């Protein structure tokens, strides 16, 4: 217990799925968590649950593709907490189409959230981290940032961009004591994938793909990796890819 005590964290897309479990686990381990999400109802419910369990959390409505929203989030954290130690760029969306069938508007929307949102988050939050001598930025990519797959051209391109943006920022931010790493989850049982995993058996087999364990990943199993990278236990982990995929990418 207390692995991130007295630290301050932002978790984007914290209202559901992995973001919810990231927020809950960081709070349970002592962090003050700013849960941000475009869904106010879901985000506030997560905060209420954290507080009911004795943790510290605040909700901020947030469109990660909006520069002005990021400016407001960073200022709110500065005013309310005075510092920032952990940024979890978790918010993301999925479009199941090959690239040649993806409309330009769909491509732009997905990149606006999955890539621009990460860039804007880093841009807005690095000054806060520099002010307190360092921090940890954790970018949620995907196994699809490491390997190709059918029917997900825009998503794969976006997660590959997050992977290499992470490494670039790791080079630039090391001098400030800011660690930057990416996490690459495999197939996760979340609201975004639930219909695929618990509907048609053929769809389940297709999405599970080369996963060696006969089950999808639980969100909290990814959150354990987030907690490790957020804590001082990972003080020499920098510019790395943490893969949580049940063996998918080794098979």
Helices (H), the chain: 17-28, 40-52, 67-81, 104-111, 117-131, 153-173, 194-197, 201-208, 219-230
Residue bearing the bigger pLDDT, 191 or 109: 109
Place of tokens 């992995």: 18
Asked if the model's pLDDT at residue 41 lies above 90, the reply is: yes
In a domain, 3, yes or no: no
pLDDT of residue 144: 95
pLDDT of res. 134 = 98
Q: Is residue 2 part of a domain?
A: no
Find out whether 23 and 35 touch, Cβ atoms under 8 Å.
yes
Domain of 18?
Answer: 8-250
Within-domain flag for 190? yes
Residue 194: is its pLDDT beyond 80?
A: no
In the annotation, is 155 catalytic?
A: yes
Q: What is the CATH number of the domain that holds 216?
A: 3.40.50.720
Give a yes or no: residue 120 inside a domain. Answer: yes
- Look at residue 202 and tell me whether its pLDDT is greater than 80: no
- Put simply, whether the predicted model's pTM sits higher than 0.85 gets the answer yes
Q: Does 58 score more than 80 pLDDT?
A: yes
Q: What is the pLDDT of residue 124?
A: 98
Residue 89 domain flag: yes
Copy the structure tokens of residue 15. 């209202």
Residue 224 has pLDDT above 80, yes or no: yes
The Cα 14–Cα 118 span in angstroms is 14
User: Which entry of 144, 155, 176, 248 is annotated as an active-site residue?
Assistant: 155
């Amino acid at each position: 217990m207390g692995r991130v005590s007295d630290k301050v964290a932002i978790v984007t897309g914290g209202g559901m799925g992995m973001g919810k479990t990231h927020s809950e686990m960081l709070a349970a381990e002592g962090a003050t968590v700013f849960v941000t999400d475009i869904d106010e109802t879901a985000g506030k419910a997560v905060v209420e649950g954290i507080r009911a369990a004795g943790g510290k959390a605040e909700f901020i409505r947030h469109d990660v593709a909006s520069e002005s929203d990021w400016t407001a989030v960073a200022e709110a954290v500065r005013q309310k907490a005075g510092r920032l130690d952990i940024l979890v760029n978790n918010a993301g969306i999925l479009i199941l189409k090959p690239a040649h069938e993806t409309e330009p508007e769909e491509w732009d929307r997905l990149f606006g959230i999955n890539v621009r949102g990460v860039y804007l988050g880093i841009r807005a939050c690095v000054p806060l981290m520099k002010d307190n001598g360092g921090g940890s930025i954790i970018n949620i990519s995907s196994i699809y940032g490491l390997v190709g797959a059918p029917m997900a051209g825009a998503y794969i391109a976006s997660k590959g961009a997050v992977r290499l943006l992470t490494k670039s920022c790791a080079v630039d931010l090391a001098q400030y004591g800011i660690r930057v790493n990416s996490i690459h989850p495999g197939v996760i049982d979340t609201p975004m994938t639930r219909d695929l995993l618990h509907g048609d058996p053929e769809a389940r087999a297709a999405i599970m793909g080369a996963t060696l364990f006969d089950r999808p990943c639980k969100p909290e199993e990814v959150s354990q990796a987030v907690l490790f990278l957020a804590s001082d236990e990972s003080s020499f982990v920098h510019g790395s890819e943490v893969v949580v995929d049940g063996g998918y990418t080794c098979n």
